[in-house]
Amino acid sequence: MSKRSEMKQNNQINKIVLAYSGGLDTSVCVAWLKEKYNCQVITFSANVGQGDEELAGVKQKALKSGASKAYVLDLTQEFIEDYMWPTLKAGAKYEGYLLGTAVARPVIAKHLVAIAKAEKADAVAHGCTGKGNDQVRFDLAVKALAPDLTVIAPWRQWEITSRKDALAYAAKHNIPLKFSAEDSYSRDRNLWHLSHEGLDLEDPGQEPKHTKLLKMGVTPQQAPDKSTAITISFTKGIPTAINSQPMPGVEIVKLLNNLGGKNGIGVLDLVENRLVGMKNHGLYETPGGTILYHAHSKLESITLDKDTAHYKQQVALKFGELVYNGLWFTPLRAALSKFVDATQQHVTGEVKLKLYKGNIIDAGVTSPYSLYDPKIASFDDSSMYNQADSIGFINLFGLPIKVQAKMKGEVSDE
């Protein structure tokens, strides 16, 4: 630790920039930080597509809570195009989770650090708990972008130990909240997804209260009895149009969220292995992202050769782990992205799908770079494929098996 960091740890902090969502955790952070450090607290709220309802009045609320200044920046386009598209192209997941929260953290941290530098702040702060993954993601991003900047996480210091305690602290300090104790699920929302944790979800033995929880869509049982047909166009692995209508990435995700949500697509009930060592039960809504991952994979099935496709599956697993573990700003993640980009040069074409009661049904895929040749694959036309060639291939391919079998036979005869 540098001398500067040691000084800041000794409470010699005059200005802090707080990543502020306006939710329960960060709502109590402003008052606590001012009380603890007797310093200015500047808030930074990132719009990553969580919707007007969550952002409504967030600046005014921060100022009323005691912030000396409040920033609100729209990062939605940057989040989708610079962070979510690379993750989609990689096909990266973590235990089935499409990384909605994890991918948003680096773009938020990047601008948190930028504001701290511009304001000449001594520290940045976040409202992540000491049990979650997000604390690691924010801390590591700050270490990568501003290694001498102090990071303060009140949940790792204060006497508040539960959401119940946080609600009591908010009431004592007259901090207004938009929810009650009965509906204080821990939620994280952005344009890509919405996660739900806490309360009854902490028992994986209980069926989630889907009709109460879901906000981006409906259950498959509630979806229409008629399917919705869509065509998604990709250019070099990036979605560029819906039903032949070109549109920017943000609008594509919005439209697919709407269509997917109405058809009960993208609800994931997951017990995941957190980075900090515990298992956690949560419910994720990712309607548009689920559709895009399915369509992208379908297009790759006809545009990637076997060896590249199989190796890319290994890269996807590692990429997903890096993002989940907060390692976006690392040489390995950057190198993997370059590999992924190289694989996407011919991932261009159209994917037709039908959305029906939670299902994504394939309805055709085409590409000018398709490696699927019907003249070779057809059962009817053998002019491009000499079936007799397979005899020599099988003999050579199976030679190790034959040698092994002969050895066993000879040994057993002795």
**Annotation says 156 is catalytic:** no
Confirm if 270 and 97 have CB atoms less than 8 A apart.
yes
Other beta carbons less than 10 A from residue 63's beta carbon: 14
The rounded distance, in Å, linking the Cα atoms of 342 and 395 is 35
Beta strands 15-19 and 40-47, pairing class:
parallel
CA 162 to chain CA centroid, nearest Å? 26
- Measuring CA to CA, how many Å separate 278 from each of 158, 198, 206, 274? 22, 14, 19, 6
DSSP codes, 278-319: -EEEEEEE-HHHHHHHHHHHHHHHHHS-HHHHHHHHHHHHHH
Catalytic residue among 27, 105, 188, 367: 105
Residues in the chain: 414
Q: Which of 5, 68, 184, 186 is catalytic?
A: 186
Task: Print the SS3 string covering 7-76.
Answer: HHHCCCCCEEEEECCCCHHHHHHHHHHHHHHCCEEEEEEEECCCCHHHHCCHHHHHHHCCCCEEEEEECH
Phi, then psi, of 127 in degrees rounded to 5? -100, 20
Burial-class residue 64 by CB neighbours within 10 Å (0-12, 13-18, 19+).
middle
Catalytic residue among 65, 134, 188, 367: 134
381 is catalytic: no
Which DSSP letter does residue 131 get? T
User: 364: how many CB neighbours lie within 10 A of its CB?
Assistant: 10
Catalytic residue flag (residue 187): no
The one catalytic residue among 21, 25, 189, 367: 25
CA-nearest of 344, 236, 356, 345 to 291 is: 356
Contacts of 380 (CB under 8 A, 6+ apart): none
Q: 165 catalytic, yes or no?
A: no
Q: Which pair of tokens denotes residue 412?
A: 């057993």
- Catalytic site positions: 25, 105, 134, 186
